[in-house]
Structure 1
Amino acid sequence: MGEPEPEDAFKLLCDDYARQILAHLSNQPMVAEEIGEKCEGSDSTVYDRLDQLHSLGLVSEELQIDPQGHHRKRYETILNSVHITFTEGRYEIQLEIEEDAPDRFAGMWGRMRRD
């Protein structure tokens, strides 16, 4: 998944449910049912926001199989912070995204090859 577009992420972050979901996921990874209980939102709203957050690269998802063999996705936020800077009649939105280990290694390897 590529870098999220800051403008798209900012638009989604204007939504209260999206912000609540990210806030709860910053404590611990959760499945959609747990998130719905915490946010007091309808299942369709929670799943819709999770899909949007995932498609923008702001949350990761992992397939979990419980002891009874049921499959469900567990979500975790990878968005650490959003910075908005206003200067010279313009604004800039910067997202701080947590990279996973393979991404960090690829970036490190790419920098070593350039040096």
Structure 2
Amino acid sequence: MSGESDLETLAGFFADETARSILAETSSEPMTVNDLADRLDASKPTIYRRIERLEESDLLTASIRPTGDGTQEKVFRATFDQLVIELDDGTYSYELERTERMADRLTRFIEQL
């Protein structure tokens, strides 16, 4: 994301209580759609719509994790830790501080060896 139109998109997400709550919940731990629907008291279709928009904007990412019964489930996690918005000489800009998962750091470390 970049540019003023993307800043408007970001502002739209933070104005939307469900999208904002999804980002907040998934910033601390990966969550399934069922987890999010229960925690936010929202319907699954509502959660899926917000997730789709958040993924398209690269604010949320999906991964597969194994469950205790040998199956797998899709979980979602916020892709950033911090959003900084600045106003300088009449122009807005923003920067997203991206989250780097431990597994990604380990992979990068091994690749550098």
Question: What is the TM-score normalised by the length of structure 1?
Answer: 0.72
Deviations 1:58-113 (A, max 9, x none): 122112343263x43111112111111112111112111123527x94xxx7xxxx
Q: Which residue of structure 1 aligns with residue 78 of structure 2?
A: 77
Gaps of 5+ in 1: 110-115
Aligned residues: 102
Q: Aligned residue for 2:41?
A: 40
Tell me the residue number matched to 1:15. 16
1:19 is displaced (CA, Å) by 0.7
**Greater than 4 Å deviation, 4+ residue runs:** none
Please report the RMSD computed on the Cα atoms of aligned residues, expressed in angstroms: 2.5
CA distance in 2, matches of 1:44, 1:62: 19
Q: Distance in 2 between matches of 1:29 and 1:68?
A: 18
Partner of 1:27: 28
Could you list the per-position Cα deviations for residues 1-60 of structure 1 after superposition, in whole angstroms to 9, with x for gaps in the alignment?
xxx344233332321111101111122111110111111111111111111112221122
Moved more, 59-68 or 11-20: 59-68
5+ residue gaps, structure 2: none
CA contact (8 A) 1:64 1:73 kept: yes
How many Å separate the matches in 1 of 2:11 and 2:97?
A: 12
Q: Identity over aligned residues, as a percent?
A: 22
What is the rounded CA distance, in whole Å, between the counterparts of 1:48 and 1:97 in structure 2?
23
Question: Residue 93 of structure 1 aligns with which residue?
Answer: 94
Amino acid in structure 1 at the alignment position of 2:95: Q
